[in-house]
């Protein structure tokens, strides 16, 4: 008799614990579905534009009537299509953004940003040679946003590997930056997934 009561009690306790776990998981799913990055970070070269600023363009540069940036040789440069509109949309939705580049030509990169009128989108900018873990440490300190609340897009696997190791959700960029790729990154962030 006692053993059957224990079995019944164990069954009720087990089913109670299973119900609590399901409720907890459902609550976690709801929280995860609403999870958004507090800071979206982008590399520059071959992530936002199709060239390396430390090899070309050649300063001085100016904005042409065609809406492209022209260097001293007259060669034209522009970002991937739709990037400016994408940044405007993110800003309108309340997202904070950062630029993280390990270029050997930070002055050229900064001049490109000025000519494109992109500085208004990026309050955090770490643009200089070195490991990106250093860049992210400075952004984290300045923004006071934890790594786990950041989303990062980069076309170099070594950077994705290094930065995902510190807890940032990373997207390995294998194609031009686009609204579709941005959405993939946001979905990965929500799901708690990262490229490594």
| Structural domain boundaries in the chain | 1-34, 36-191
Mind listing the pLDDT tens digit for each residue in 139-157? 999 999 999 999 999 999 9
Name the pLDDT band for 18 (thresholds 50, 70, 90): low
- Out of 45, 154, 155, 195, the active site residue is 45
Residue 35 has a pLDDT of: 86
- Out of 43, 154, 155, 195, the active site residue is 43
Name the pLDDT band for 14 (thresholds 50, 70, 90): low
Mean pLDDT, to the nearest integer, of 109-129?
A: 97
Q: In the predicted model, what is the mean pLDDT of the chain? A: 89
Task: Give me 160's structure tokens.
Answer: 């994705």
pLDDT above 80 (res 176):
yes
155 is catalytic: no
Name the pLDDT band for 9 (thresholds 50, 70, 90): very low
- Could you count the other beta carbons within 10 Å of the beta carbon of residue 163? 27
**β-pairing, 69-70 with 76-77?**
antiparallel
Contacts of 127 (CB under 8 A, 6+ apart): 44, 99, 100, 101, 103, 106, 109, 110
- The more confident residue out of 11 and 85 is 85
Mind listing the pLDDT tens digit for each residue in 57-84? 999 999 999 999 999 999 999 999 999 9
Whole-structure pTM value? 0.83
149 is catalytic: no
Residue 34 has a pLDDT of: 72
Mind listing the pLDDT tens digit for each residue in 25-61? 655 454 555 789 999 999 999 999 999 999 989 999 9
Q: In 3D, which of 146, 143, 150 has the Cα closest to residue 188?
A: 150
CA separation, residue 98 to residues 2, 19, 77, 88, 151 (Å): 65, 42, 22, 13, 10
Residue 24 has a pLDDT of: 58
Residue 25 has a pLDDT of: 61
CATH class for domain 36-191? Answer: alpha beta
């Amino acid at each position: 008799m006692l053993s059957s009561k224990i079995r019944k009690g164990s069954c009720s306790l087990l089913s109670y614990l299973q119900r609590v776990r399901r409720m907890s998981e459902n609550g976690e799913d709801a929280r995860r579905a609403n999870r958004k990055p507090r800071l979206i970070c982008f590399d520059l070269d071959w992530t936002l534009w199709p060239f390396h600023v430390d090899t070309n363009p050649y300063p001085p540069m100016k904005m042409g009537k065609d809406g492209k940036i022209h260097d001293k040789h007259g060669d034209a440069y522009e970002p991937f299509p739709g990037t400016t509109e994408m940044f405007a949309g993110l800003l309108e939705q309340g997202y904070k953004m950062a630029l993280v580049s390990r270029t050997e030509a930070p002055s050229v990169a900064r001049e490109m940003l000025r000519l494109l009128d992109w500085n208004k989108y990026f309050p955090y900018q770490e643009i200089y040679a070195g490991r990106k873990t250093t860049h992210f440490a400075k952004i984290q300190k300045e923004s006071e946003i934890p790594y786990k609340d950041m989303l990062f897009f980069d076309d170099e696997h070594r950077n994705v590997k290094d930065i995902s190791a510190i807890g940032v959700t990373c997207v390995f960029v294998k194609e031009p930056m686009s609204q579709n790729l941005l959405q993939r990154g946001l979905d990965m962030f929500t799901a708690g997934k990262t490229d490594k």
